[in-house]
Amino acid sequence: MGGGGEVIDNKQVILKELVKGAPKESDMAVKTSSISLKVEEGSKGLVVKNLYLSVEPYVKLRMKKFEHPDFSSFTPGSAMDGFGVGKVVDSGHPEFQKGDLIWGIVGWEEYSVIKNPGSFFKIHHADVPLSYYRGILGMPGMTAWVGLHKVAAPKEGEYVYISGASGAVGQLTKLGFDDAFNYKEEKDLDAALKRCFPEGIDIYFENVGGKMLDAVLLNMRLNGRIAACGMSAEHNLEEPEGVQNLRIIIHKRIRMQGFVVFDYFPQYSEFLDDVLPKIREGKIVYLEHITEGLENAPAALAGSENVWKQVVSVSRE
């Protein structure tokens, strides 16, 4: 391990082999390795004690073999990783101190060594639940905010439709929902949309694609905007659903914009300034389901829907 200092047990969730289809609990194993709680001499990294891990669609995606310019599959035999919240145990980096709370991509393990903390955010507001920083105040919440405020730019009175609303975006827009439906239970998506949006849709936050997008296109209004974000399990790369109605974007003058939330991370403090007060005032109600203990993470992941509501609490310290 190097670095000297205390070496302790480190429980980890390991991917056994790359999976096909929906991941099962038995595709993962909880093993114990050891870790030094001191960063290596000369390193600018961190040692972090993990507090919360996100049970999220893209962890499931990375358990499969896939190709993507921004992400890679997990390495079988190694600890899985994903967005999480942690506390700095030791730091070789000038911007982080022991005791700092942070969020970013950490291992599915009790302690993680972070070699390059440059992509981590420090948590300055701990008066809200820390678990929020892997959800509504983390990447998924930021995605929702960016898609709506920076990409789609809604105007007063416009109609907004969010597919996959039980996930990231739905969390941020819970308040103000006028109607909702479960698209898996609707035989006719077009009819469901016409029922919920008799006047049509101005803004579509695209999380699903395929047939859903086709149905939405039929119901978009003139000058509509479609914000399309990534990193979700709906990108079933093996069998992409075709889109038939794309020509509609022409006569309806629709703008469709793909975006990746990472590009907007420099605006994270603007996001917090907007959302934190709404959480404190109860204007945004955020629900999470917290599973206690890293050893229960495989079951939580295998049993999860493709939503961002679930958290594993690794340590309550």
We find the least distance from the C-beta atom of residue 200 to a copy of itself, in angstroms, to be: 13
Q: Report the residue number, 96 or 197, with the smaller CB distance to a copy of itself.
A: 197
Q: Report the residue number, 17 or 263, with the smaller CB distance to a copy of itself.
A: 263
Q: Report the residue number, 102 or 217, with the smaller CB distance to a copy of itself.
A: 217
The rounded distance, in Å, linking the Cα atoms of 282 and 289 is 18
Q: Report the residue number, 40 or 241, with the smaller CB distance to a copy of itself.
A: 241
Site residues (CB under 8 A) for a copy of itself? 68-70, 209, 213, 228-230, 235, 240, 242-260, 263
We find the least distance from the C-beta atom of residue 246 to a copy of itself, in angstroms, to be: 5
The four Cα atoms 29, 33, 37, 40 give a dihedral, to 10 degrees, of: -110
We find the least distance from the C-beta atom of residue 142 to a copy of itself, in angstroms, to be: 15
The rounded distance, in Å, linking the Cα atoms of 31 and 113 is 17
Q: Report the residue number, 54 or 207, with the smaller CB distance to a copy of itself.
A: 207
In this structure, are residues 90 and 39 in contact, taking their beta carbons and an 8 Å threshold? yes
In this structure, are residues 8 and 109 in contact, taking their beta carbons and an 8 Å threshold? no
Which residues face 9 on adjacent strands? 34
We find the least distance from the C-beta atom of residue 175 to a copy of itself, in angstroms, to be: 27
Give the chain's end-to-end CA distance (angstroms, integer).
Answer: 25
The DSSP letter of residue 264 is: G
We find the least distance from the C-beta atom of residue 28 to a copy of itself, in angstroms, to be: 27
| The two three-digit tokens of residue 227, written as one number | 């914000």
The rounded distance, in Å, linking the Cα atoms of 102 and 121 is 5
CB neighbour class for 134 (10 Å; exposed up to 12, middle 13-18, buried from 19): buried
Q: Report the residue number, 41 or 239, with the smaller CB distance to a copy of itself.
A: 239
We find the least distance from the C-beta atom of residue 84 to a copy of itself, in angstroms, to be: 23
157: left (phi over 0), alpha (psi -120 to 50) or beta: left
In this structure, are residues 164 and 234 in contact, taking their beta carbons and an 8 Å threshold? yes
Give me the DSSP letters along 171-189: HHT-TT------GGG-S-H
We find the least distance from the C-beta atom of residue 139 to a copy of itself, in angstroms, to be: 14
Q: Which amino acid is at 24?
A: K
Q: Report the residue number, 81 or 234, with the smaller CB distance to a copy of itself.
A: 234
The rounded distance, in Å, linking the Cα atoms of 168 and 177 is 15
Q: Which amino acid is at 115?
A: K
We find the least distance from the C-beta atom of residue 69 to a copy of itself, in angstroms, to be: 6
Q: Report the residue number, 28 or 231, with the smaller CB distance to a copy of itself.
A: 231
Length of the chain: 317
